[in-house]
Structure 1
Amino acid sequence: MEDPCHKIKKRNARVVFALVTLFVLTVLFLANANSKEDLKIVGENAITLSENWTIRVGAFEEQGTSLPVDLNIEPGTEYEATTVLPNIDSKMNYLLLRASMQDMVVYLDGQEIHRVEKPETLGIASPLASTWVMFKLPRDFQEKTLKIILKSDVTAFSGHVNKVMLGESSSLVNYVFEQGFGGFIVFLVLFVMGLLLILFAIFAKSFPDNRFLYLGLLVLSTSIWILSEARLLQFFIGNRYIIGGISYLMVPLMGSFFSLYVKETIFLEQWNKRLMQMMAGLYLFLLIATMILQVLGISEFIETMNIMMMVIFLNIIILSALMFEELVKKSNQDAKQFFKYVSVLSVSVIMEGIVFYTNQFDYTSFFIRIGSLIFFSLLLADSYLYFKRSLQSQKERDLYEALAYQDVLTGGNNRAAFERDFEMLRNKEVQFRLVLLDLNELKYINDNYGHGSGDEAIKTLYVMMHDAFMPEGMCYRIGGDEFAILMGNTEETAIKIRILQMIKYLKCAENQVEYPLEVAIGTDVYDAKTWPNLTKFYHHVDQQMYADKLEIKQIRKTKLTIAVK
């Protein structure tokens, strides 16, 4: 039978969901009803120069071409695109182009007005970078001939001409941002998610593995890759190495963190775990090799991506095979669940591979954005359930541990807790005071007033000890009528004050009962130099307590003799 409270929670959740849905639909309807007026701060004073271009490669010429266009030419070959600028408002005097790992020279009526080239450096090679290029045109640019000369050493971009835009600077910047807005939203969501997971992994130290750390690093590196592929990095930074290389550097990092996450969370077989660790190491090796080859000018980032994509596809095949093996041989339900999640990501990765190998770079990161959001949302939900289970397990462990160190009768610390803390203080090699106490006449109380009264006497003594010695001393019941106190304060004055306070409390409590509440006490300070053997020190204090017990008995006997006489 379903719990009534659970039914109420489910009903409340449905009501909240219905209200939120109704609110969203209402806002969308009202927004559509007021869509005739445009109140955007940034206008849309920009046009695309996509028609009537003349393309020249050497002696070859083709007129009336539409942009973008791809020419089948060898890397390193110069080619040009020419058009006549329209007669438009002089305020629309900025030109926006996309240089896809290309050198670019722009002319207006035969006069050079802008140049974009990979800088020459000594020692350390600069990477090729795909960048937005925006600059202001000279006065009276209308109806003049615009010529763009391009050259690329990369096969994928040699012969490619991106579309060209003309307009006000604010409109062109707005266009660039709108083009990458979807990617920016995905980046923002994943970036925040990754940071929170990493912070959680750093401060939550009770988990047995590093799954939250690896997942956080994976999400964070994926978010940076998505931002780079959304072509928005130039809004935040102008460094060529970051703009041209960060997305390629994130790919092996993503593979490494992914492999480590799988090792921590999915596999049961040690060999499979080691294999995933080896895959993580392979990705890191490829990362270092990629950086070295680029710095030495031997290979550009994009050229080493062919090897990287093959390793990723190989990783997917190996991972699928291992998960299938564990599912069949070990009935690993985690592997079964993760296999479903990876299927979503694998489809998006395969689509990204097709986009890469077919040079459809306008669609780069489109599929991985969708796949990543779904994949990481599933993993986050899975991690939340793991966290919830771990928290419950930790609570149970804490409870069992507390019970293991708790005295059933008094509710205070027991002998196991005393031995733990006693050993811990000894290992710190600091001085501390040990106090041993014994409740006198417990057998007399049990025999004459019942075991219930004996239990009450024990509980009363523990409470009086605790009230008198805290917070300077930790109190323990270490046996039937035996108690102990550990104190960091070793001064004689401090122990005398605490003992007198405890005896005072006991006298007050004794006035409320019919039986005596009296204790024998032994105490001394432990010093490793004086007492190299801890057992002998304990026996020494115990003997002091026993001597005090005998002295109390002798005093009581003397008083009784005097009273009889």
Structure 2
Amino acid sequence: MSKKVNKIISFTVTIAMIILTFFFFNATKDSGVSDLVMSLDNDWTLVVNGETKHVPKIAGHILPKTVDKDEVVVLERKLPSNTFPRSVMRFKVYHSVVKVFEDEELIYAYGDKLYESNRIVGSGMHYVYLGPNSAGKRIRISIQATEDGAFSNFSPIDILPSSYANTDFFASHALALFVGIFLILFGLLSVVICAVVSFFSTGYFRFQMIGLLSLSLGTWTLCYTKLIQVFSFNFSFNTTIEYFSLYMSPIPLGFLLMDMRRGQIKTWRWWGLVTLVAFGACYALVTSILHFTNVLHFPQTLLPFHIYVGVAFLYMAFSGVVYSKKTDLSGKFLTWGVLSFGVVAFADLIRYNVFKYLAIESFRWDVTWIPLGTLSFVMLLVLSYLVYLYKLVADRTEKEVLAAMVYIDSLTGLYNRAKCQQIFDVLDRSDGDFAIVSIDMNGLKYVNDKYGHSTGDRLIKVFANILRGSFEGVGATIRMGGDEFVAIVREEHLEDIDFAINSMKDKMLVGKSGLPVPLEAAYGVAYRSECGPMSASGVYSAADKKMYAMKVGMKSDLIRR
């Protein structure tokens, strides 16, 4: 199959996969999203620190200040008269104990025991199953913050049929779900494969770092968007994984940059990068210890982490760590990936803090752009690695070709005298038997003198091809120079020597087409086992003597000319 056909097939398959993915997302969204979702955004009564306030619209409503630990916020209203029987109320809450009452009857509670044991309560999408006759009843949601700065506004509150309780949210966020799962699976496969092949080869460190980064960012994406609830409703565990994966993500990225920029940037820039990576690793370690010992939970260490990420991004953007004029194509892909992701992450970091702490109500502060930014970033990193791998393979192949050329006869493609000596050295270090066939063509001088050296070269090439074909799979074939050839046969193929020699003689009889003279050669075979304690060179000398003895006894006009 031609390269052009392969390219057409590859392009067609890629386009088909893109189209199928597009239809898959549409089908997933259409089949999973419910048209019966009822918003409960309006007419809530809000109680904060004993103060009661009517809130026309609760979604996105900004509180005067962030809610701190042990502060309680209460939301209350009457359920609509058209509330579905056995419906589900859905809302998102951050780092809080949640209790829901229906006409003063407790119907849902989360987080009490976790908070009492000083463990992280976590964040998540709460699903409260209402009673069969909830329409018109009074609903009250009590939210007690378990961390300082737990939240400063509210997410939408919806009611929907219980049959769509989970699928509606997941289908509405199908793209983020796909991106997160893809990044996790890609990361896991990359890490496992690189870990296995690293025992046999080197050069996979970069791809392993890309895999770890993809794994951490994919995990964070699922946790931050609460799509992790496809697999786990343990908010404490989900939130711990969310912060841990976020804090770990700068480490593989830092190691990747260190590996790619080693020796390419000034010393102070290098040590600046090393310092940032070391600080990130120490920060992840210390905050994890504090969290798991319940001394200081992850949410309380988020702001310093944001500052660290901002400083690191600015340093990489303006110090020349990521980009320089000497950057190759692999480095350029890395630069585009880091800068594009950095812009998205930096913008998202600003979005998160501005809309959380500065009380701007015109935007839903919990909408993140990170999933698509992460996907494009990882894909650019993969492209960077593929370019690097291609260059690495090309350089290695070039070196191997150059190294092989040292041992290859340029005229015939057989091994040369230098390779013969290398094989002799190997044979001298072994105890096994072997045989050497010394071969000398007849009539080469006559052909060179009468027909020219180009015809003589053609005669050598034809014989070399016959010799190679006859001893293929039996032994190594070598041109020592001029009209002298050697075949070296190891112990496991000694019984095939006669067959190979007979094949060579038969092919010489039919291979003289277009040549001015018949193909003839004298040969001699010597075995180590017959020569006694002798080096490979000594066995070759013994075979050479037998070859000359055969040449003397041959009745050929080519020998006498």
TM-score bin, normalised by smaller chain? 0.7 to 0.9
Which of the residues 121, 127, 131 maps onto 1:128? 121
- Displacement of 1:132 in angstroms is 1.5
AA aligned opposite 1:105: K
Q: Is the 8 A contact 1:54 1:83 kept in 2?
A: yes
AA aligned opposite 2:489: M
Distance change (3 Å), C-alpha of 1:239 and 1:148: closer
Which of the residues 289, 293, 298 maps onto 2:295? 298
After superposition, what is the alpha-carbon deviation per residue over 1:385-440, rounded to whole angstroms, capped at 9, x for unaligned?
Answer: 5566566656655654554443222233334554566667778x683624242315
Q: Is the 8 A contact 2:412 2:460 kept in 1?
A: yes
Secondary structure of the residue that 2:342 maps to in structure 1?
helix
Q: Is the 8 A contact 2:68 2:149 kept in 1?
A: no
Distance change (3 Å), C-alpha of 1:492 and 1:223: closer
Separation in 2, partners of 1:190, 1:325: 23
Distance change (3 Å), C-alpha of 1:316 and 1:516: closer
Separation in 1, partners of 2:507, 2:520: 10
**TM-score, normalised relative to structure 1:** 0.76
Distance change (3 Å), C-alpha of 1:419 and 1:315: farther
- Displacement of 1:283 in angstroms is 2.9
Unaligned runs of 5+ in 1: 1-7, 29-37, 561-565
- 1:35 maps to none
Q: Is the 8 A contact 1:200 1:212 kept in 2?
A: no
Distance change (3 Å), C-alpha of 1:218 and 1:475: same
Which of the residues 166, 173, 177 maps onto 1:173? 166
- Displacement of 1:479 in angstroms is 2.5
Which of the residues 520, 524, 543 maps onto 2:523? 520
Which structure 2 residues correspond to residues 158-169 of structure 1 after superposition, within 5 A? 161-169=154-162
AA aligned opposite 2:157: V
AA aligned opposite 2:463: L
Q: Is the 8 A contact 2:508 2:519 kept in 1?
A: no
Which of the residues 115, 129, 141 maps onto 2:134? 141
Secondary structure of the residue that 2:438 maps to in structure 1?
strand
Distance change (3 Å), C-alpha of 1:382 and 1:481: same
Secondary structure of the residue that 1:319 maps to in structure 2?
helix
Distance change (3 Å), C-alpha of 1:543 and 1:133: same
- 2:432 maps to 431
- Displacement of 1:71 in angstroms is 5.8
- Displacement of 1:45 in angstroms is 1.7
Of 306-315 and 380-389, more deviation after overlay is shown by 380-389
Which structure 2 residues correspond to residues 91-102 of structure 1 after superposition, within 5 A? 91=85, 93-102=87-96
Which structure 2 residues correspond to residues 275-290 of structure 1 after superposition, within 5 A? 275-277=272-274, 279-290=276-287
Separation in 2, partners of 1:247, 1:377: 22
- Displacement of 1:232 in angstroms is 0.8
- 1:32 maps to none
- Pick 1 or 2: higher relative contact order, CA cutoff 8 A, min separation 6: 2
After superposition, what is the alpha-carbon deviation per residue over 1:28-50, rounded to whole angstroms, capped at 9, x for unaligned?
Answer: 9xxxxxxxxx9857532221222
- Displacement of 1:278 in angstroms is 5.1
- 2:478 maps to 476
Separation in 2, partners of 1:483, 1:279: 63
Which structure 2 residues correspond to residues 135-284 of structure 1 after superposition, within 5 A? 135-157=128-150, 161-187=154-180, 190=183, 210-240=205-235, 242-266=237-261, 268-269=264-265, 271=267, 272-273=269-270, 275-277=272-274, 279-284=276-281
- Displacement of 1:240 in angstroms is 4.3
Separation in 2, partners of 1:132, 1:426: 75
- 1:75 maps to 69
- Displacement of 1:112 in angstroms is 1.3
AA aligned opposite 1:292: I
- Displacement of 1:176 in angstroms is 1.8
Separation in 1, partners of 2:376, 2:412: 54
Distance change (3 Å), C-alpha of 1:192 and 1:112: closer
RMSD over equivalenced CA pairs, Å? 4.5
Which of the residues 540, 549, 557 maps onto 1:551? 549
Distance change (3 Å), C-alpha of 1:270 and 1:128: farther
Separation in 2, partners of 1:143, 1:523: 106
After superposition, what is the alpha-carbon deviation per residue over 1:117-160, rounded to whole angstroms, capped at 9, x for unaligned?
Answer: 1644999x754321122132223222222122221221222575
AA aligned opposite 2:539: V
Percent of pairs with identical residues: 18
- Displacement of 1:296 in angstroms is 0.9
- Displacement of 1:544 in angstroms is 0.9
Secondary structure of the residue that 1:478 maps to in structure 2?
strand
- 1:5 maps to none
Secondary structure of the residue that 1:88 maps to in structure 2?
coil
Distance change (3 Å), C-alpha of 1:224 and 1:514: same
Question: How many correspondences in the alignment?
Answer: 522
After superposition, what is the alpha-carbon deviation per residue over 1:70-119, rounded to whole angstroms, capped at 9, x for unaligned?
Answer: 36454112332222222124435222232312111222122211111164
**TM-score, normalised relative to structure 2:** 0.76
